[in-house]
Structure formats: C-alpha cells, structure tokens
Chains A and B, each alone.
Chain A
Amino acid sequence: MGIYIEGLTKAYGKKRGITDINIHLPEGGLTAIVGPSGCGKTTLLRTLAGFHTADEGRILFGSRDVTRISPQGRKAAMVFQHYALWPHMTVADNVGYGLRLQKVPAKERERRVREVLERVEIDTSDIGARYPQHYSGGQQQRIALARALVVQPEVLLLDEPLSNLDAKVRQRLRIGIRSIQQSFGITAVYVTHDQEEALSMADYVILMNDGKVEQAGTPEEIYRKPSTYFTAQFLGESHTLTLKYQGKPQRLVLRSGDALVTPVVDEWGTNAETLERSIAHEEVIEEDGSWVMEGEIRHHLFMGSYYRYMVEIQGQSMFVDDDRLLKPGSCKVTIPTEKAYWFDI
C-alpha cells in the first residue's frame, strides 16, 4: 500500500508546521523522514497518523483517501519513542489489545499474539504473567512493534523508535526492525533525527528542513548527490570550508572519510611542487581528478580501527580519518572531485 501525500500543509506552533509536502512513499518499502529538530518531520508523521488534521492537501493510503479519517479508522499502526506499552497489562494483553478491539475470539487471539511475538524474537513462555517493565528497553520496543503488527495494519508508522536505547542495542535493533519490516512486507514510515539511522535502514530517504522537503531519494542518491548545501552538510560527517574556487569564495562540503592526507616529506620534496602552486594561488587546484589543498595536522584522536585527524586548511579545521598514524605538521589534503560538493555562498 503506497502512500501518496499531495500538497499537505499543517500549521503547528511557531516552527514545527509543514508546508506543501508532495511525496510518494513506495509500497512495501521503509521510508525514513529525517531532519533537524523542529523541521516538521514529527508533525508530518502525526498528520499521517491522524493526530493532526491537515489544513490543506490530501493523504492517500493506496487509493483510500484518509485525510479526514480519525486515527482509529486509518488502519495504520504506530511505534513510539518511549514504547508506550501499558504498564498495567501483561505482555500478552498489550499485544492482544488491538485484536480484542477487533473482537477476535480468544483462542485465535492467543495464537496470533504468540506468532507475532515469536517473529520479533520475544520468548512467549510466560507472556501472560509478565509485565512490560520486566523487559529491557530493546525488548520493550520489540513488544511494541509486535503490538502494532499483530493487527495487520496497512501502514506502519515509527516515531524515533530507537532514540531511547543505548548505542549497542540501537545498532542491533536497526537490523531487527529492518528485517521484520521486510518479512512483513509492510509500508513503513520511519521518523528519526539520526541521519546515519535513516541512511542505513531506509529504502527511501526524505530529508526535511523548515517544514519542507529538502531532498528525497534513495540513501545513496541523497548522500552522494546532494542537491543543496543543507543536504550536503546534514548527511554524513560533514565539514564546510569556505575556499576560493573559480575566482570567488565558495563553500566546500567534505566528509571525513573521503579526504586523504599525505604528510609533506621534506627530504624528498614529494608534494612540494603542488603545494607551492596551491599556496601561491590561495586556491584549491585540481590534479588527477582530485582537489588538492595544503593543510596542517593539528591533533589526532585514536578511534580504535582508525585515527581521526584535525586538519587545518586555510585557518578552518575539519576532521579526516585515516588508518595510518601520521605526524603533526604540514600535509597535503586530497579529495576526489566527485566527493567534494561546492556551493555558492
């Protein structure tokens, strides 16, 4: 069931509204809505859920117009940041709640509850006696996912489901949620402020800024072909340098992993020539399909599997990752031209 959003507008508070959103979320895919806080991503999700009524525009689940339908009638299910499991109900009652509302007979209800809990890898031996508080955060979110999926919704909405968990659990549950979503083949909308989460989990990423869609596309597209400065600097571990390019100062956005630092080796004079040219022009020069500029290694951080260098380029600093241990001092910074994004100021 694909989701079509047409001209959706919702004023909400001073900042968090959305204006004229037009997107299509493909059927059976996981679409991540990502953006800084206050960009309207939560407002968009809550409008999809029916908690907000749209001021203008339409929302279609498949061919069904749900714009004016209450949350109860949308056949969508939701997973919340703080799990929102009911503390006074056992796990079995929590998961079976939706089925009880649909008047599913007790026997079938129990069977379906067990089945869905097994699919999200929760031990079902004593779900009738244990309460959500007895489970870890990651398990609670799995139970919440089961509660949402057991009613066979047409659309699954996830509101920052991993933000409340610690890093290790988060990494594991990313894969968990992704594989569950794929095995159910359900259309999912996933709101997150974590760009890494969005890029790693989604089939399709919608980057929002200031209540509008900044850019939409596959994770690779949006990461490798940022069409605006905002997209470029928001995704990945990005740094902005203001450098002279084609005769005028421009913004260059770089990712830590994309640049290569080579120390200047005095005795051999390896990089001396290019560097002299670069310094002379105070400009970035192109050489063998790469941008080359002069830098200075200021600090390094040992990150385990690699080193992170703070490199100063024309008085501005950025991080460059490299797995070699390099000495502080002058260096050459090389970036493949296709991985450097220039934007007018």
Chain B
Amino acid sequence: MSKPLEVALLSAPMSERGPWFSTLRLTRRFAIYAISIFMIFGPLSSLLLWSVAEKWFWPNPFPTQWGFKYWQQAFEGKMLSSLGLSFGIAIVVSIICLVITVPLAYVIARNRIPLKHIVLLIFLLPQAFPQLPVFSNVMVLMYRWDLVGTLTGLILIHLVGALVFSLWTLVSVFQSIAEPLEEASYMLGGSRIYTFFHVVLPIALPGIIASTLLVFLYSLDEFTGSLLIGAPYHITMPVFMYNAAGGYEMQVASVTSVLLMIPGILLLFLLQKYMRSEYLAAFGRV
C-alpha cells in the first residue's frame, strides 16, 4: 500500500511536491534577485540621484533641490566635445584593431608558428605591469616623436591595451572553428582567400563583434594613457570626469558617469548576446 505512494512522491515533478515547497523556492529566488539588483543598481542609483540633485546636504536622505541644471550645463559646455572625442577615438581604435588583429589572429590560430607564444606574450606584456609606469615610459618616447597631445598619440596609446584584448579573444575565436569546416571548402575547390571570406569570417562574426565591443568599451573607458598623452589638448570623457570629480563637482562627475555608462550597458547587452562562453574559456590558453 505504501509503496506506490512513495514512488508517486519520488517521481512527482518539483511543482507537485506541495505548495510549501514552491513557496520556499520562490522566496529564495526573489531574495537572490533582490540582492543582485541592489548590488548592481544601488551604487548606480546614487549616481543618478546626484546627477539631478541641485542641492543635497548631509544628513538629508534625498536631495533638497532637484533639477536638470547640471545636465543642461553638461550639454552646453565642454563635456559634449569630450563625449564626441571619446566616441570618435573608440571607433577609430576599434577599426584599426579589427584590421590588424583579424588576419593576425587567424594566422596565429591556424599555423604552427614556432614563436607563437612569444608573439602572444609580447602583446600581453604591457598589461602585465602597472599601467602608470608603462605609459609614463611610452610618454617619454612619444615626446621624442612629437606625439604627446596629438590625436595620433591618443589612438596609439589606446591601441597598446586594445590590441591585447582583441588579439587574445580573436585567436580563441578562430581556434574554436573546427578545421574540417575549412577543409571541406578546399576540397570543393575553394581557395584559401575564398574560404576565409565565405566560411571562416561568417562563422567567426559573433566572436569578432564581441571582441570589437570589448575593445570599444576599453577605449571609451581608458584613463591613464588618455590623461598622460592627450591632456590638456584632448580631453576624453574619463579625463573630463576626473577633472570634474577632482573639483568636488559631484553632480558634473555623476552626469559624466551616467553618460559613459549608457553605451557601456547597451554594448554589454549586445556582448552578452554574441559572446559564446567558449571564447572566454579559451582566453589565455593558446
């Protein structure tokens, strides 16, 4: 008598194990969501608040005077040109990265290059040390070549870091494409170039997009190099924000942060859509 009941209980799906069980699960899930949302949006909401606070003194929990004065100021002043500069540089850096690293990563991924690890290591080297000393040394060199304070210099300094991201992810992307996919094309008469454009590139596209987004965000967010090489002639958004925050202009800094964050969040959603976990998993083991 008891046996069939036991079997029925054991084989019942989760939801049929009684209402108390699903309530417990729901509560737990809700708690996890609530904590995550608080962890992510808590700090962000304070930024949002600050950006619309015209007066906010301790110990008031909320601003005493609200308004868009600082947003208005931001769009009237130098901030807009900084924003444009940052986006422009990020786009140029992304394109240069694509042009250099897509073919290079493909060659590294597909061929037995004797010094492959050395090549990859050289690309990684600038990231292995604290950025400040590395960039200071670069600055010394750039002074010699008259690149400090120029857009070219800014783009070059961004490329130092961006190429690393781009190359390392793209090598993984190309390695994740099974070689028989290309060989099948060769057997049917497709040349290496034809195969690259008709087989490899379309399959690698999600990975390439993901890597480009990473590079774009890196460039948009780059600070140390931008400060050393670009300032004071070319002020990018992060540098602008640094200046604003340094002047205790909490509101200006908040507006800048929110502006900087919007493309970041949008692009991260795109990234999440295109990035396959194996690209990241292969990161660093080539």
Contact = CB atoms under 8 A, between A and B. Distances in A.
Interface stretch (A81-89, A210-218, A254-262, A267-275): A81-89
Nearest to B192: A72
B202 interface: yes
A337 to B, nearest CB: 47
Contacts of B185: 97
Contacts of B181: 84, 86
B281 interface: no
B184 A84 contact: yes
B189 interface: yes
Interface in A56-100: 70-74, 76-78, 80-82, 84-88, 97-98
A109 interface: no
B178 A101 contact: no
B187 A77 contact: yes
Contact of B199 (A78, A86, A98): A86
Main secondary structure of the interface of B (DSSP, over half): helix
A78 B203 contact: no
Contacts of B143: none
A102 B189 contact: yes
A208 interface: no
Given A87-B203, A88-B202, A88-B203, A78 B183 contact: yes
B178 A84 contact: yes
Contact of A71 (B186, B194, B202, B203): B186
A101 B189 contact: yes
B190 interface: yes
A117 interface: no
A51 interface: yes
Contacts of A74: 187
A147 interface: yes
A87 B184 CA distance: 13
Contacts of A73: 189
A72 B180 contact: no
B188 interface: yes
Contact of B184 (A70, A88, A102, A147): A147
Interface residues of B, number: 17
Contacts of A81: 180
A101 B198 CA distance: 11
Nearest to A151: B188
A49 B187 contact: yes
B36 interface: no
B194 A101 contact: yes
B45 interface: no
B180 to A, nearest CB: 4
Nearest to B199: A86
Interface string B67-86: 00000000000000000000
A73 to B, nearest CB: 8
A338 B184 CA distance: 46
B127 interface: no
Nearest to A102: B189
Contacts of B199: 86
A332 B138 CA distance: 87
B23 interface: no
A71 B180 contact: no
Contacts of A78: 183-184, 187
B188 A80 contact: no
A218 to B, nearest CB: 29
Nearest to B181: A84
A94 to B, nearest CB: 9
16 contacts: A50-B186, A51-B186, A72-B187, A73-B189, A77-B188, A78-B183, A78-B184, A78-B187, A80-B183, A82-B178, A87-B203, A97-B198, A101-B188, A147-B188, A148-B187, A151-B189
Interface of B: 178, 180-181, 183-191, 194, 198-199, 202-203
**The 3 residue pairs across chains A and B that have the minimum distance between CB atoms:** A98-B188, A84-B180, A80-B180
